Amino acid sequence: MSTPRIARALLALCSVMNVAWAADTPAPAEFAWRGQLVLPAGASLVRAELPVEALLRMQSPAGHDVRVFNADGAVVPYALLRPADLERSAPAVQTRAYPAYPLFATTTGTPATRGAVEVRLSADGANTGSAWVRWGSADAKGATVPADAQPLQAVLFDTRAEQHTLSALRLKAELPRNALVHLQLESSANLQDWQTVPVKGPLFRFDGADAPNSTLLELQQPFDVKGRYLRLGWAGQEGVQVSALTGQVAMPHMQPARVRAALPAGAADGNSLVWALPFATPLMALHLQATQDNTLVPVRISGRSDASQPWRALASSVVYRLDTVGQGSSNSALALPPTSVRALRVEASNGQTLPAGGLHATVEFAPLQVALLASGPGPFTLAVGRANTPSAAVEASVLGSVSPARLAELPAAAVQQLRADPPDAPQLWAAKLLPSGVSLRTAALWLVLGAGVLVLAGVAYGLLRQITGSK
């Protein structure tokens, strides 16, 4: 091989290597979702929240495929901000256990026994009048009451000494099996005048080792019980015995609102529904809703990250919708531990079948924000949705030495959507065919390097022939 030909081969190899090195730097156009950031006037250090359309295309549970580009296509310094970074609340705390004191009624004119205290009941029809409670014993069987005393479907708690505001009540209770138990909670400072404390949802306990159950009574709003009694009732429901409660202390700060997204209709698979999820964003909650009235079915919820994997149990719950019962009610969203899966399965348990018409599913995500230093020319582009992409984020403290306490005070940039590929975009599915941790750019890099090796082999072969022929 002549010297000019060898020189051309080496130049070609250098070009191949330059392409190979450039191939591992992602470009904005390779991301499934892009939005333009509109910065406040004069601001260079800002934060922006990822919209739900971006979260529905994120391909890394940790947000590794989030990028912020300037107009030159260069990545600007940015950090990911999660709710814990913006709102540092105290950990959940529970109160001591408070015993339940049974209430009983006596025949009109019959005096209560010594030590019994009169409790005035609310004027709500059948419960109008007086009842009695014995503070000396919280055990209904051990309390000394008249022979004709009638136990009421209610218990009393003395929470006057509690100093904390409560967000929920964890009950120690026996519940009837395979039924919804609706409870009424009231509060009083003097056992005479009562006010209703709104609560969320019923309690339940279904048969089976992995069947759903709930003994946590959530309050609609945090409630200060200091100096007050609580009365818990379950009128018209048999088989309920409550022996104690433990209060869940309300968090000192409200958590940021979660981001919600409705899923398309699930695919029927026997006695279950399956949803394929084209995103890796961790799920924080799942809200299953029945489409028809008078629905009550316990369900098991499973997930998996790949079709070759077995289903993994995530939670169990009860889906119900009772439009014509009382004021109507339905189940709320089921909280999940942060879970990243590529498929969800909901199957009926306890020998039941899924309700006719299927279920509507809505997922909830934790909000995700980015803090960025607007370096280089604008406009700036927020990009999300590229499989097998390494992280490029920096620690928030690197951005101008911003303390965690000041992150929430950064000026907010608006996000205007520029492009949103379908969740099943071809580049996303192609990336899934590659081994874990190998991006499309990395695969292209290896292909280019392979071509470079072939060029070198050709040069070496030509030199070897030239040397051999000259002998």
Residues 199, 296: one domain?
A: no
In a domain, 468, yes or no: no
Cα 382 to Cα 441: distance, rounded to the nearest angstrom: 20
Residue ending a domain, among 349, 365, 381, is 365
In a domain, 268, yes or no: yes
Residue 186 bridge partners (DSSP):
196, 231
Q: How many CA atoms lie within 13 A of 239 on its CB side?
A: 11
Residues 379, 232: one domain?
A: no
**Residue bearing the bigger pLDDT, 324 or 95:** 95
Cα 369 to Cα 66: distance, rounded to the nearest angstrom: 10
Average the pLDDT over each of 123-137, 153-167, 191-205 and give the range with the smallest value.
123-137
Give the pLDDT band (50/70/90) at residue 85: confident
Q: Is the pLDDT of residue 46 over 60?
A: yes
Cα 12 to Cα 333: distance, rounded to the nearest angstrom: 60
Residues 143, 237: one domain?
A: yes
Which CATH number covers residue 104?
A: 2.60.120
Mean pLDDT of the chain: 82
pLDDT value of position 2: 54
Percent of the chain with pLDDT strictly greater than 70: 74
Which whole number is the average pLDDT over 152-165?
94
Number of folded domains that form the chain = 3
Residues 108, 150: one domain?
A: yes
Residues 304, 320: one domain?
A: yes
* Residue 67: alpha-carbon gap to chain centroid: 23
Which pair of structure tokens corresponds to residue 385? 């949705």
Q: Is the pLDDT of residue 24 over 60?
A: no
Q: Is the pLDDT of residue 444 over 60?
A: no
Residues 236, 316: one domain?
A: no
Ranges 18-32, 38-52, 75-89, 240-254, most confident: 38-52
Give the pLDDT band (50/70/90) at residue 446: low
In a domain, 427, yes or no: no
pLDDT value of position 420: 83
Residues 344, 289: one domain?
A: yes
Give the pLDDT band (50/70/90) at residue 64: very high
Give the pLDDT band (50/70/90) at residue 447: low
Query: HEC profile for 137-170?
Result: CCCCCCCCCCCCCEEEEEEEEECCCCCCEEEEEE
Q: Is the pLDDT of residue 241 over 70?
A: yes
Residues 147, 267: one domain?
A: no
Global pTM? 0.73
Which whole number is the average pLDDT over 341-364?
92
Helix locations, 88-216, DSSP H = none
**Residue bearing the bigger pLDDT, 225 or 24:** 225
Residues 206, 136: one domain?
A: yes
Percent of the chain with pLDDT strictly greater than 90: 54
Residue ending a domain, among 418, 433, 455, is 418
Ranges 78-82, 248-252, 321-325, 427-431, most confident: 78-82
Among candidate residues 173, 183, 168, the one with its CA nearest the CA of residue 247:
168
pLDDT value of position 334: 93
In a domain, 436, yes or no: no
271-306 pLDDT, tens digit per residue, is: 999 999 999 999 999 999 999 888 999 999 999 999
3-19 pLDDT, tens digit per residue, is: 555 545 545 544 544 44
pLDDT value of position 125: 41
In a domain, 235, yes or no: yes
Helix locations, 81-229, DSSP H = 83-86
Which whole number is the average pLDDT over 243-261?
85
Residues 193, 282: one domain?
A: no
In a domain, 380, yes or no: yes
pLDDT value of position 96: 94
pLDDT value of position 342: 96
In a domain, 384, yes or no: yes
Among candidate residues 251, 255, 252, 258, the one with its CA nearest the CA of residue 86:
255
391-442 pLDDT, tens digit per residue, is: 999 987 787 666 666 777 889 999 998 888 876 555 544 445 555 444 555 5
Cα 432 to Cα 439: distance, rounded to the nearest angstrom: 9
Ranges 66-80, 104-118, 314-328, 415-429, most confident: 66-80
In a domain, 118, yes or no: yes
Residues 124, 223: one domain?
A: yes
Residue ending a domain, among 208, 225, 249, is 249
Residues 127, 200: one domain?
A: yes
Query: Range of 341's domain?
Result: 259-365
Cα 27 to Cα 36: distance, rounded to the nearest angstrom: 15
